[in-house]
Amino acid sequence: MKALVIVDMLEDFVDGALANPRAQDIVPRLQGLLERARAEGWVVVFSNDAHLPGDPELDVWGEHAMAGTPGAQVVAELEPRPGERELVSPKRAYGAFDGTGLDEELRALGVDEVVVAGQHTHICVRHTAYGALIRGYRIAVPRDAVCAFEGVDEDEALEYLRSVYGARITTVAELTGSVPVSAGGERPLGAEYEAGDVLTHEP
Ligand code: ZN
């Protein structure tokens, strides 16, 4: 069973205190992924920063995504529909599994693979992937539905996830079945192709 884990697509990380222009670009692809996940009955998780005063990370970044504030809300385009198979999971550090109880929740739902999307590829996506690795989950990362800060090398961040955590680097089109997968199943790890090529590919 797959879980789609959407990390930190919050007002403060898109338009607010730590706004990232790249984040707006991945919203439509995240919408497509979310739609497919809901249609196919994957578990959906919104892993959201919800900081309290004194959280250690605030010394590094300043105040952001403070619990209960508008900045800590998921952007309207990706509005969660909390329920038995759709979880909103607040976190106070980078990783979705860090002190959140998410592992237990996913296990109870029979999840064995996490699709980690959102931001930032080199920070919270990375720490979430690590948390998934050490708990025994298979990991997939759609390269066109994650983003790092501007100025950060996205390919390098993805390569780290692949080579260190064994993440399968994929695309939204592949995950949603809008591009045929070769008879052998998954593309080889590290297959090089541009997200744009795949998205415009004619079956
Ligand atoms: Zn934070």
Task: State which H helix or E strand residue 175 sits in.
Answer: helix 172-176
Average pLDDT over residues 40-60: 97
At residue 184, does pLDDT exceed 60?
Answer: no
Per-residue confidence at 187, pLDDT binned at 50, 70, 90?
A: very low
2-185, which class in CATH? alpha beta
Residue 129 identity (one-letter amino acid): A
Q: Taking the domains of the chain in order of start, what are their residue ranges?
A: 2-185
Residues serving a catalytic function are 8, 91, 124
Task: Identify whether the C-beta of residue 168 lies closer than 8 Å to the C-beta of residue 43.
Answer: no
Give this prediction's pTM. 0.87
Q: 90 CA to middle of ligand 1, Å?
A: 11
The pLDDT value recorded for residue 179 is 63
pLDDT higher than 50, residue 196: no
Return the higher-pLDDT residue of 121 and 203: 121
Distance (angstroms) between ligand 1 centre and the Cα of 12 equals: 10
Up-side HSE of residue 145: CA atoms within 13 Å toward CB?
A: 29
Using the mean position of ligand 1's atoms as its centre, give its distance from the Cα of residue 177 in Å: 33
CA of 55 to the centre of ligand 1 (A): 9
Residue with token string 């590290």: 190
Ligand 1 centre and the CA of 183: distance in Å?
41
Task: Work out the average pLDDT over 69-89.
Answer: 97
95: pLDDT strictly greater than 90: yes
Task: Determine the angle formed by the axes of helices 154-165 and 124-134, rounding to 10 degrees.
Answer: 10
Residue 107 in this model has a pLDDT that exceeds 50:
yes
178: pLDDT confidence band, cut at 50, 70 and 90? confident
**Average pLDDT score over residue span 35-63:** 97
